[in-house]
Amino acid sequence: MKRGFALDRFVIERLGVALITLTAVLTVVPIIGVFGYIIARGAPAISWEFLTAMPRDGMRAGGILPAIVGTFYLTLGTAIFSVPLGIAAAIYLAEYARENWVTRLIRIAIINLAGIPSVVYGLFGLGLFVLFLKFGTSLLSASLTLSIMTLPVIISAAEEALRAVPQSFRTVSISLGGTRWQTVRKIVLPQALPGIITGVILGLERAAGETAPILFTGAAFFLPRLPNSPLDATMALPYHLFVISTQVPEMPIQIQYGTALVLIIFVLGMNLIATVIRSRARAKRQW
């Protein structure tokens, strides 16, 4: 009786561990499959012309340059607005704010901002930037919309990086007569910088891959030239992939896979840079 129970227990353990291992295998294998498949199918489409030429024949031939440049501009525009604001907000939360109801409210707002569906950001951008402020469907409206979406990611990551700087650094600076701002700017910020940069890149990576927020705020279906002012609409890689895979009949499959691969390289390249910065900073850290 006792032995039977013991046996069952170990049989269950084996089955359980096997089941969990199976779920992990079934999760990881498709991920590798997805990346491998896009790389394998997309790589033959990538050529110098594909990366540097304008689209031709209703996007069925030529290159995707305006989409690549558009996504680059959108990412840059998002960075211009969200990075200073996000870092300043993080400095406030980590270095200035007291633990009271206002600070709790800010934290709840950040969590909620992070959870709002991306298409709702699109609606908001349409209501505020495109129509109310009359920026039109433009690079500017789309960048501003993406900035607000990126803000919670940057604030959370930067605050975490600032808080990781040991308290003793601040104490020493203050005791030498430094003001709060001098302490932040000369001591805390430089120490937290790698962590902040990592968070910023991860936030911008998300912005670069988003489609829904730019659908009605700045994305152009087809625009065979580069945007030459912030008030121009622009093509963008994710929206372009959506367009050529759903809206254009008889689209050569190779161009679709090529566009998907370029988008992935753009986004995951940023991810890789963030990872490298993080691991280098960890190796060099003085504390």
For residue 281, what are its two tokens? Answer: 């900073």
Binding mask 82-101 for another protein (x = CB under 8 A): --xx--xx-xxx--xx----
Nearer to another protein, 65 or 202 (CB): 202
Tokens representing residue 166 in the block: 């040991």
Residues 64-83 within binding reach of another protein (CB under 8 A): none
CA angle centred on 148, ends 135 and 222, rounded to 5°:
50
Q: Between residue 109 and residue 168, which ones bind another protein under the rule CB under 8 A?
A: 109-124, 126-128, 131-132, 148, 151-152, 155
Applying the rule CB under 8 A, the residues between 187 and 216 that interact with another protein are 202, 205-206, 208-212, 215-216
Least distance (Å) between residue 200 CB and another protein: 14
Instruction: Give the shortest CB-264-to-another protein separation in angstroms.
Output: 6
Which residues ranging from 211 to 270 are in contact with another protein (CB under 8 A)? 211-212, 215-216, 238-239, 241-242, 245-246, 253, 256, 260, 263-264, 267-268
Q: How far apart are CA 84 and CA 88, in angstroms?
A: 6
Query: Considering the complex, what minimum distance in angstroms separates the CB of residue 16 from another protein?
Result: 4
50 vs 65: CA distance, rounded Å: 7
Radius of gyration of the chain (CA): 24
Instruction: Please measure the distance between the N-terminal and C-terminal CA atoms of the chain and give it in whole angstroms.
Output: 57
Q: How many residues does the chain have?
A: 287
Least gap, CB of 20 to another protein (angstroms): 5
Rounded distance between C-alpha atoms, residue 15 and residue 119, angstroms:
43
